[in-house]
Amino acid sequence: MGLERAEELEDLGKKLALLQQPKPPKGFGQIREFASVAWDLLKARPDIDLLPPCHQKVINENDLDLNDLPLLRPWPEDAGGAITLGLVITKDPETGVPNVGVYRLQRQSAKSMTVHWLSVRGGARHLKKAAAIGKNLEVAVAIGVHPLLVMAAATPIPVQLSEWLFAGLYAGEGVRLTNCKTLDLQVPSHSEIVLEGSISPGEEMMDGPFGDHMGFYGGVESSPLIRFHCLTQRKNPIFLTTFSGKPPKEEAMIAIALNRIYTPILQQQIPEIIDFFLPMEALSYKLAIISIDKAYPGQAKRAAMAFWSALPQFTYTKFVVVVDSNINIRDPRQVVWVISSQVDPQRDLFLLENTPFDTLDFASENLGLGGRLAIDATTKIGPEKNHDWGKPLSRSKELEEKIDERWIELGLSDLENSQPNPELFGYVIDQLIRQKQTNNS
């Protein structure tokens, strides 16, 4: 992305937040901020490439054979070869606004594949609209694109805006697009391979099983069938792919960057949220840890409810842990400590039953319907508590600074970048006390 620090991702997120819910600027500072975003938008507009590399070779329907592609089958019981990192491009039949998503496709024949998308995704919405007006849905699949386009396809953006524009914001320049040979769709001109086809509403085939990000084989279910009638490619294309499974995997790495980008977007909708974190070990979306600057009783529950409804990406977040702003939400030791020390299960757990859920989550009693749990691990205030709490343990700022100053002198400089060690910290305290006693004597 051309960025040197993770914090720059949040700066990018602030620009996206302005586009999510634009408000009239107040004061010269905000006017400058809006002007900067407007200039970035101008630079980010896509343009057309008249000599696209992805059209160096054109294969028409008669010669098209998906078996010629090196489709990945990463797990032994996968039903067939799959495209896992292709951009699936459709267009709203009413508004003409394109949608770009990353959906898995499974080969069904030499010229057809099923596409696995959730009902809340843009492609599924477009297919539903096409069915309502009795039209086929055009679909292009671009394989081997710049990773920024994959990022843009996974970013929560307003429905009326295009992922191409957001990818341009990521890159600092517009995406070069080209028209498909047989479809009224545009694809990245630098794509290695482009498949062109269409879905007839109601035409489906069984899709799966397939090893998924949950760490299990996904179930077999009926999915829309895409019939391809054209393939274009570079002269010597590279087939870009990845595979799912228990983290860490490539998709989890992408999610780390997206977490930073989401933060300002989330804060704009829920201002009380100071920070939030989606741990990779929780599949980068099943568990969210959010910190708030708590001001009133019941605020943690409100923040959890707001989080679940803030963005489509959080629809399937199963657990939300709410902590105070002084807790480092990216340090699992602090999070586990605060849950253990400040949570009473009979008071601080908030359960929602039978909510729309991820069909890939086999833990649910009924697939597609499941519960959500919020854990209030904040400091209890006002009517939230019926007795006084003990005073939190703390050391003076002066003592902390003294320890920092003595770090090298005590021969611990080699451990400066290592993980914090409570026993080592105790050792430092002990050494300072011993020296103090020696000086006194």
What is the spatial distance between Cα 210 and Cα 415, in angstroms, rounded to a whole number? 45
Specify whether the CB–CB gap between 334 and 328 falls below 8 A. yes
Quick one: tokens of 215?
Answer: 């760490």
> How far from 22 is each of 10, 272, 300, CA to CA, in Å?
17, 19, 27
Specify whether the CB–CB gap between 113 and 228 falls below 8 A. yes
Beta-strand pair 47-48/176-179: parallel
Give the 3-state secondary structure of residue 54.
helix
- The 3-state DSSP composition of the chain as helix, strand, coil percent (nearest 5) reads 35, 25, 40
For residue 62, the 8-state DSSP code is G
- Go through 233-269 and write b for each residue having 16 or more CB atoms within 10 A of its CB, e for each that does not: bbeebebbbebbbebebbbbebbbbbbbbbbbbbbbe
What is the spatial distance between Cα 120 and Cα 134, in angstroms, rounded to a whole number? 21
Q: Where are the beta strands (DSSP E) in 110-220?
A: 112-116, 137-143, 176-179, 186-188, 193-207
The 10 Å Cβ neighbour count of residue 29 is 9
Catalytic residue among 78, 212, 275, 358: 212
Give the 3-state secondary structure of residue 57.
strand
What is the spatial distance between Cα 265 and Cα 49, in angstroms, rounded to a whole number? 32
Active site residue 275: no
Residue closest to 111 by CA, chosen among 188, 59, 184, 56:
59
Query: Residue 386: phi, psi to the nearest 5?
Result: -110, 5
Specify whether the CB–CB gap between 146 and 101 falls below 8 A. no
Find residue 322's DSSP bridge partners: 290, 376
Catalytic machinery residues = 212
